[in-house]
Amino acid sequence: MGEKASVAVWKDDKAKMDAFITDLMAKMTLDEKIGQLDLQSGIMANTGSLVNYEYEDWVAEGKVGSIFNNFTYERAYPLQKRAVEESRLGIPIIIGHDIIHGHKTIFPQSLGEVASWDLEVARLGAEIAAKEATADGIMWTFAPMADLVRDPRWGRVSEAPGEDVYLATKMSVARVQGFQGDDLASPTTMAATAKHFVGYGLSQGGRDYHSTDISEHELWTQQMPPFKAMVDAGVATFMTSFNDLNGIPASGSKYLLTDVLRDQWGFEGFVVTDYTAVNELVPHGYARDDKHAAEIAFNAGADMDMVGKSYMDYMAELVEEGKVSMEKIDHSVRLILEMKWRLGLFEDPYRYFDKERADRDILTAENLELARDAARKSAVLLKNDNAALPLALDDINSIALIGPLADNKKDMIGNWAGAGDRRKQPVSLKEGLEARLGDNVTINYAQGATYAHLHAEGDTSPHVGIRSVGRDVIGKPAHAKMIKEAVKAAKKSDVIVLAIGEEQRMSGEAASRVEITLPGTQRELMEELKKLGKPMVGVLFSGRPNDLSWEHQNLDAILHAWYPGTSGGHAISDLLVGDFSPSGKLPMTFPRSVGQIPLYYNMKNTGRPYNAENPNQRQEHYKSRYDDSPNSPLYAFGHGLSYADFQYGEVKLSSDHLKMDGELTVSVDVTNAGKHAGEEVVQLYTRQMVGSVTRPVQELKGFQKVNFAAGETKTITFTLTAEDLSFYRADMSWGAEAGDFQVMVGTASDNVQRLPFKLVD
């Protein structure tokens, strides 16, 4: 390749890498260096409001070092070719994409996958996603998102790891391991991104991109740990977050991007901003103009600018004016070139384009089966009265399958669905049930309702959301006809299975809602069907906790399927007919109403904790409570039922105290007293009764997902040490405090046995 940047053998030779990059950088002009700091979006997906259509030429001119949103061989390969053949130094580009829960074989929506409480499900999902994406030329993903969330109005909860820091940390690390494997250089693994750093998950009012105000203690205890754990796990890159955090937008925060991430945690990869987040320092009121924004963000530690072009346009001037140092430019360029080295791009820029492997590795029967298994393990049985589930196939001749998500492929794969096909590939619930039931049971299908908002003539109601206008809105007559057809189908059937929920684009980015009840005409449909007095089973498809108060009162059973992915219809059918038992547990609290938000299990006790059990409720008047709602959620964190019948024996502790350098063993016998086999997630929580700062009433410290045959008993054992009880104390030092604790073990955060113990010096 002559002058071009290439190396024959690369791999783990750091000295060789350093020498190669030093040599390459010596040849680079300032503009070429700045080019490495720029990331542009292609046009295959639209994940932000700005696209610079000249990006292809910029790649050829060496002005752009990486691209995303061009996720097919046909679109990405020619770009790599232009970078290598046309740019002066032939430096290959990194090709990224939001591979969030699958590339083409789509696994359950991220929040759903977390509901599996199965780290292997998360790891494997990421591993398969990387295997597929890398065969199509993509070597960098913008995942995992590790933002803790407490507000189901926020659409991005669908992409989040839930509300608990322990579970989120474990899941995020498992995903990094899945994407990156042991070796970034392997052609089947990709660079992962820890995002969004940090605080985005607490956007005020659940409105996307809104500000956050998080106390130092809360930030370090709740939001930081998953990110720190991903650094320790070797995550390749970090993404800044959009939000203003305590007065400083995260994308311009030197404290976050340099003091914490580099100096304190020793992160060695590069930092990319979120989409146009540098330019957004201007409307934030933190920078005067784009040039000022570039100066702030870059000096804060944001190495790469996503789409906004402010580095491209102003960095040379900033260097000339002495506002940005050449050392800093060189440092960032080196980090980016190192990633290109580690990905093996200097040896072979096309090593991730492999048509043969794409044919062999993408959408294979094995991947589809793994996705089916993941979907089965992610679904959460929220309610099951009158043994409504599994469907009693011996007694049932006909099922009314009703709802906007029944004969529906496009929503099954959820939002952020990589390169997933929505039209043909996904298995709908109707197809899944038909395949499983064959001719034995008649399925009477009717759509029955729409999940879009009902549009009456002249309706200017704010509830007709922007997205619905002119698209899916239906008129009242069409709506009445739909219900009539559904009632007819239901009358002919032994049981009603409702496929209800939200359209996939009602969660995800820029998809916040002020109401989290089921949208459109679904409630009216259910009210009509309820009058028939037949068993009603709800299968819920959505990317967030919904307000299911009505459904809880009126349906016999509710199975939350999330968006189950490409094999979704099969997976959910497997559960409905009882071939497998549901085993998911909620990673987020489901409130009774939107008015309770934020509602999360690991809250503080307050000075006036309300006791709903007190028979003398007069004594409870001046307590922390609502006049018009219980405090408790509809479904608690960790809740999830099974067809098995798990009975917990007495929880035993090895001692009534734990020494600072010792261990405490917590054990319990769990028996499956039911007729179905099933998996149970045994959960362990603790509470520190008195602390140098107030402590949550419950904190998850361990869980085990265990398989039980019918009738089987197993002893489940956890070991607690002082490290498990450590936290950021009043002086912000990390450690445990001697004193009184409780340990709680059980099947859900609101269904535990409690035992006291002491932590002693």
* Residue numbers at the binding site for ligand NOJ (CB under 6 A): 47-48, 98, 142, 195, 274-275, 509
Smallest gap, in angstroms, from Cβ of residue 274 to ligand NOJ?
5
Cross-strand pairs, 671: 647, 713
Q: Which is nearer to ligand NOJ, 142 or 197 (CB)?
A: 142
- C-alpha 154/C-alpha 163 separation (Å) is 13
Active site includes 13? no
- Convert 447-498 into a string of H (helix), E (strand) and C (coil): CCCCCCCECCCCCCCCCCCCCCCCCCCECHHHHHHHHHHHHHHHHCCCEEEE
Q: Tell me which residue has tokens 């049971």.
A: 441
Report angle CA 493, 495, 501 to the nearest 5 degrees: 115
- Closest approach of ligand NOJ to the CB of residue 756, in Å: 44
CB 466 within 8 A of CB 511: no
Minimum CB–partner distance for residue 420 and ligand NOJ (Å): 15
249: left (phi over 0), alpha (psi -120 to 50) or beta: beta
Residues 162/168, Cβ–Cβ less than 8 Å: yes
* Smallest distance from ligand NOJ to CB 125, Å: 17
What DSSP string runs through 167-200?
A: HHHHHHHHHHHHHHTT-TTSTT--B-EEEEES-G
Count the Cβ atoms, other than its own, within 10 Å of residue 264: 11
Tokens of 401: 């399958």
Tell me which residue of 315, 313, 317 sits closest to 299, measured CA to CA. Answer: 315
| Separation in Å, CA 437 to CA 384, 434, 463 | 22, 5, 39
Q: 509 or 679, CB closer to ligand NOJ?
A: 509
Q: Which of 38, 274, 411, 556 is catalytic?
A: 274
> CB-wise, 354 or 509, nearer to ligand NOJ?
509
CB of 66 to ligand NOJ, least distance (A): 12
**Least Å distance between CB 98 and ligand NOJ?**
5
Closest contact distance (angstroms) between CB of 472 and ligand NOJ is 25
Q: How far is the CB of 372 from ligand NOJ (least distance, A)?
A: 27
Determine phi and psi for 393, rounding to 5 degrees. -60, -25
Cβ closest to ligand NOJ, residue 221 vs residue 507: 507
Nearer of residues 41 and 468 to ligand NOJ, judged by Cβ: 41
CB of 243 to ligand NOJ, least distance (A): 10
CB of 417 vs ligand NOJ, minimal distance in Å = 13
> Of 504 and 589, which CB lies nearer to ligand NOJ in the complex structure?
504
Could you give the CA distance from residue 343 to residue 340 in angstroms, rounded to a whole number? 5
Number of C-beta neighbours around residue 232 at 10 A = 13
Q: Which is nearer to ligand NOJ, 280 or 551 (CB)?
A: 280
Residue with tokens 């390459």: 24
| DSSP code for 618 | G
**Tokens read off for 269:** 């990869």
Q: Is 586 exposed, middle or buried (0-12, 13-18, 19+ CB in 10 A)?
A: buried
Closest to ligand NOJ by CB, 47 or 749: 47
CA proximity to 602, closest of 262, 275, 148: 148
Residue 154 CB, shortest distance to ligand NOJ, in Å, is: 12
CA distance 1 to 346: 11
Q: Looking at the DSSP assignment, which residues form a beta bridge with residue 743?
A: 686, 755
Inter-helix orientation angle 326-342/290-300, to 10°: 70
Cα gap 123→118, rounded to integer Å? 9
Q: How far is CA 418 from CA 132, 158, 381, 611, 641, in A?
A: 11, 14, 27, 47, 31
Burial of residue 99, with CB atoms counted within 10 A of its CB: 0-12 exposed, 13-18 middle, 19 or more buried: buried
Annotated catalytic residues are 274
